Amino acid sequence: QQQVKQSPQSLIVQKGGISIINCAYENTAFDYFPWYQQFPGKGPALLIAIRPDVSEKKEGRFTISFNKSAKQFSLHIMDSQPGDSATYFCAALNTGNQFYFGTGTSLTVIP
């Protein structure tokens, strides 16, 4: 059973556009929600993360929106650049110290 559901599976965005990736979860025991960026042949790297006590967190061009009542969170990449082309994973951490990952979104930013 997929604990964290991620969509879309792939996304193509024009340079300068906004990329939006969505995740949903069911387990209310999750209390930490990170996003990772992974380039081919590399390990994932932390991009931005949020705790459920805030509804939004922004770092540069990257913003997480968090809706606790809907149990959904999303990543917004503003002014998307070709260098942002990568696979993005959302994740959730439960109080039992275990991370659950989404299935990943392959983002392609067209110049």
Partner 1 sequence: GAVVSQHPSRVICKSGTSVKIECRSLDFQATTMFWYRQFPKQSLMLMATSNEGSKATYEQGVEKDKFLINHASLTLSTLTVTSAHPEDSSFYICSARDVQGHSYEQYFGPGTRLTVT
Binding residues for partner 1 (CB under 8 A): 32, 34, 36, 41-46, 49, 51, 89, 93, 97-99, 101-104, 106
In 3D space, the residue among 62, 104, 59 whose CA is nearest the CA of residue 83 turns out to be 62
Structural contact between residues 29 and 94, judged by C-beta atoms closer than 8 angstroms = yes
Give the burial string for 51-71 (b: 16+ CB within 10 Å, else e).
Answer: ebeeeebeeeebbbbbeeeeb
Closer residue to partner 1 (CB): 13 or 23: 23
Closer residue to partner 1 (CB): 20 or 48: 48
Q: Give least dist CB 42 to partner 1, A.
A: 6
Q: Give least dist CB 90 to partner 1, A.
A: 10
The residue written with tokens 């991620």 in the block is 6
Q: Give least dist CB 24 to partner 1, A.
A: 15
Q: Give least dist CB 55 to partner 1, A.
A: 18
Closer residue to partner 1 (CB): 17 or 106: 106
In 3D space, the residue among 61, 71, 64 whose CA is nearest the CA of residue 28 turns out to be 71
Closer residue to partner 1 (CB): 17 or 100: 100
Give the integer Cα–Cα distance in Å for 75 and 83.
16
